[in-house]
Structure 1
């Protein structure tokens, strides 16, 4: 009986740790975009998806992530992440971010799209660089159209 409990505990621990749903650090200069296959080098425009099973998909730009989900079962996605323009390499929740499309801020795939953790930072950058602000839902509608 004690052996059964031991193996049950080990099995539960393995299951718990094997389905760890969390972002993975992007290895800039080595990781490739899952959508366009380009090497991810831009530290302010990269993005990542984490599925409910913990599988990660890395992208060189948020627009690649959005193009990828056009043909992916989004019910399997747990996290949508984009780099914060104000903090290079820091991934933020894309569904809560404010996005700026400004011709004065180039992005890897030419959509001129940047993500901001706070609406205040996005507005300040918009004042300096011009462009149009979007939330996640409005951005999806804009880019899927």
Structure 2
């Protein structure tokens, strides 16, 4: 009987640990809404996600919404800061692994025409911006109502 209870205790402990893990989740295009501008997230070439150290997830339709949200909530601790690479649609990537470029041909959801690239050679040739530079940039994006 003692071995039986130990097995259940161990199983419960494993389930508890798994349920408390902090991790990102895929964006559900056409269903999820941007935490900053409240628009429905539609374009799989753009988007982002912040995951707090406590596991709360904030999704964004464009980096132009993610950056101002991050700036406005500087006191929050994030375990993940992710964006979708234009050259790898739907795939959330750590922003430190990305390069960013602006060009009117990108037509991002918020009109900033900003795209992220995992492979810098996939960009069209304008000057690439690093995440550290981008974090300091001011974007015009609607604030929460």
Question: By how many angstroms is 1:143 displaced?
Answer: 3.0
Gaps of 5+ in 1: none
Distance 1:33 1:83, change over 3 A: same
Aligned match of 1:69? 70
Report if the CA contact (8 A) 1:96-1:135 is conserved.
Answer: no
Query: What is the TM-score with the length of structure 2 in the denominator?
Result: 0.82
| Secondary structure in 2 matching 1:133 | coil
1:23-42 equivalences in 2 (<5 Å): 23-42=24-43
2: CA distance, partners of 1:90 / 1:44:
9
Partners of 2:106 and 2:39 in 1: CA distance: 19
Does residue 137 of structure 1 match 2:121? Answer: no
1:92 is matched with 93
- Per the TM alignment, residue 70 of structure 1 is displaced from its structure 2 partner at its CA by 1.5
Structure 2, unmatched stretches of 5+, are: 140-145
- Aligned-pair RMSD on alpha carbons? 2.1
Question: What do residues 18-40 of structure 1 show as CA deviations (whole Å, max 9, x unaligned)?
Answer: 22222211111111101110000
In 2, the alpha carbon distance for the partners of 1:7 and 1:143 equals 53
> Does the residue aligned with 1:138 lie in a helix, a strand or coil?
helix
Q: When the two structures are aligned, how many residues end up with a matched partner?
A: 138
Q: Which moved more, 1:135-144 or 1:89-98?
A: 135-144
TM-score (normalizing by structure 1): 0.82
CA distance in 2, matches of 1:7, 1:83: 41
Q: Is the 8 A contact 2:88 2:118 kept in 1?
A: no
Which of the pair has the greater relative contact order for Cα pairs under 8 Å at 6+ separation?
2
